[in-house]
Chain A
Amino acid sequence: DMQMTQSPSSLSASVGDRVTITCQAPQDISNFLNWYQQKPGRAPKLLIYDASKLETGVPPRFSGSGSGTHYTLTISSLQPEDVATYFCQQFDYLPLSFGGGTKVQIK
């Protein structure tokens, strides 16, 4: 199985800060990677697909990058409404798999 490793598991940052979350795959997943945001008590929401493409309606402060085995989600200027847990997901291999999540809080 393709175990996706996310880091950090949690972070606390100030409003306006630049936040970076990383996702590591054990082998090349050819940019077949998505990022989701999940707020407490809610279903996940797709933010980024195909590693770097912004889903329609998602604020441009969110961006994705990376290649091969290493991928990054960046929030350019953290906002209070960004408090959530973020998950990466690879779709190159079965079983489809998610990272362990990164909980983002406001300092």
Chain B
Amino acid sequence: QITLKESGPTLVKPTQTLTLTCTFSGFSLNTAKVGVGWIRQPPGKALEWLALIYGDDDERYSPSLKSRLTITKDTSKSQVVLTMTNMDPGDTATYYCAHSRTTSGVFGSFDYWGQGTLVTVSS
């Protein structure tokens, strides 16, 4: 059974760096067709994809946030870490990590999601 869980601070100050950890089980992040992605959702708004890392170390980022994001994986710990620099109140959102499964094309579907963690950016 695949599970994912996000952890990290619930409150960060403007200009600080956010570090979120996704701890997963039920799969190995060591093949090209399996990945872990981060998606966020501001309160009452739509979903926004942030970053994705595959088992072959391929990393993909949203171009609009690329300069602020870093995604890494630690296969031995079954963890994926997302860092986002220079946080702003506009980054207040629920942050989700999700398992990515490639069935067709280069990218794929997010078929298992963590419960999400609400991060508030405020001084």
Binding site for B on A (CB under 8 A): 1, 30-32, 34, 36, 43-46, 49-50, 53, 55, 87, 89, 91-92, 94-101
B105, A32: Cβ atoms under 8 Å? yes
A sample of 30 inter-chain contacts (CB < 8 A) reads A1-B63, A31-B104, A32-B104, A32-B105, A34-B109, A36-B47, A36-B110, A43-B114, A43-B115, A43-B116, A44-B47, A44-B110, A44-B113, A49-B103, A49-B108, A49-B109, A50-B109, A55-B111, A89-B49, A89-B109, A91-B106, A91-B108, A92-B105, A92-B107, A94-B60, A94-B62, A95-B49, A96-B37, A96-B62, A100-B46
Q: Which residues of B contact A49 (CB under 8 A)?
A: 103, 108-109, 111
- In the complex, B29 has a CB within 8 A of chain A: no
What CA separation (Å) do A65 and B46 show in the bound complex? 22
A-B pairs with lowest CB-CB distance, top 4: A43-B113, A96-B49, A91-B107, A98-B47
B49, A97: Cβ atoms under 8 Å? yes
A91, B47: Cβ atoms under 8 Å? no
- In the complex, B31 has a CB within 8 A of chain A: no
Nearest-Cβ distance from residue B110 to partner chain A, whole angstroms: 6
Say what secondary structure dominates the interface of chain B.
loop
A30, B60: Cβ atoms under 8 Å? no
Q: How many residues of B contact A (CB 8 A)?
A: 25
B63, A91: Cβ atoms under 8 Å? no
If A1-B63, A49-B108, A101-B47 are given as contacts, then 20 extra A-B residue pairs at C-beta distance below 8 Å, sorted by A number, are: A34-B109, A34-B110, A36-B47, A43-B96, A43-B113, A43-B115, A44-B96, A44-B113, A46-B111, A53-B103, A87-B47, A89-B47, A91-B106, A91-B107, A91-B108, A92-B107, A94-B62, A96-B62, A97-B49, A101-B46
